[in-house]
Amino acid sequence: MTIGIIGAMIEEVEPLLKELKLERKLVKAGMEFNHGELWNNKVVIVKSGIGKVNAAVCTQILIDDFNVDAVINVGVAGGVGEDVYPGDVIIAENLVQHDMDSTAFGDKRGQIPRLDTFDFKCDETLLLKSKRACEKMNNCKYFVGRIVTGDQFIADSDKIKWLSEEFSALACEMEGGSVAQVCYLNDIPFVVIRSASDNANNGAHMDYEKFKPIAVNNSVTILKNMLETM
Ligand code: ADE
């Protein structure tokens, strides 16, 4: 069993790379795929870069060239749910791309036209393992629900209100929904685990820098707890 681990930014993958027993490294599409052993699991760790296109390319390479059996996307997110604060963890039960809009053809916002699903559901077993991993931690407040993805850093309280009302989203980020779509198309189990670095409101960019290290640390610990049970 090989697990693909995707983080969008170097800050999100660096702590994992430090723990990796690297066996081989391959560069494709400008991304470094680090193959090796992490906490007794065969993994490929990769920094995808930010946004949906990067994440989609990265996920498809993991599937085609590394034959991964599952994909885990970790990193930070903007809190959207009322009770979600910086540092809290959000495990995606499902994901929707909030910037997909073909309402002109009568589709619901977020619906990818002519696709047979509205949302992308995370794998039940990986979900269970993610929840258990959070429960092992002291002081880890975690939520399970919908994460929405779009090619926008959200720093606007009206926009979070909209994401909450339109999609019942708990958090927003810029890659998960696209990792999820590629996994869905290839029938590969996946889960997205994020930790809130900000509240996606007017001060989001400032909170983001302050809370990012805490948020990154959370997702690394969860991943460690999770991999130890795989
Ligand atoms: N990742 C972390 N914070 C975010 C935000 N506010 N919007 C989009 N992606 C994010």
- Decide if 165 is catalytic: no
Could you report how far apart the first and last alpha carbons of the chain are, in Å? 9
138-194 tens-digit pLDDT? 888 999 999 999 999 999 999 999 999 999 999 999 999 999 999 999 999 999 999
pLDDT in tens, 79-104: 999 999 999 999 999 999 999 999 99
Testing ligand 1's pocket by substitution, the residue of 173, 175, 192 carrying the most ligand atoms inside 8 A of its CB is 173
pLDDT one-digit tens code per residue, 20-44: 999 999 999 999 999 999 999 999 9
Residue 128 CA to ligand 1 centre (angstroms):
25
148 and 95 Cβ atoms separated by less than 8 Å: yes
Question: Contact at 8 Å (CB) between 126 and 134?
Answer: no
Structure tokens at 55: 């994440």
Regarding the beta carbon of 196 and ligand 1, being less than 6 Å apart is answered: no
Rounded mean pLDDT of the chain?
96
Give the residue carrying structure tokens 């997702």.
219
pLDDT at 18 over 90: yes
Among 128-137, 180-189, 211-220, the minimum mean pLDDT is found in: 211-220
CATH code for the structural domain at 2-227: 3.40.50.1580
- Position 153 scores a pLDDT of 97
What's the burial of 139, exposed, middle or buried (CB within 10 Å: 0-12/13-18/19+)?
Answer: exposed
Residues paired with residue 27 on neighbouring β-strands, in sequence order:
32
* Ligand 1 contacts CB of residue 195 (under 6 A): no
Predicted pLDDT of residue 191: 98
Name 95's bridge partners.
Answer: 120, 147
19 is known as an active-site residue: no
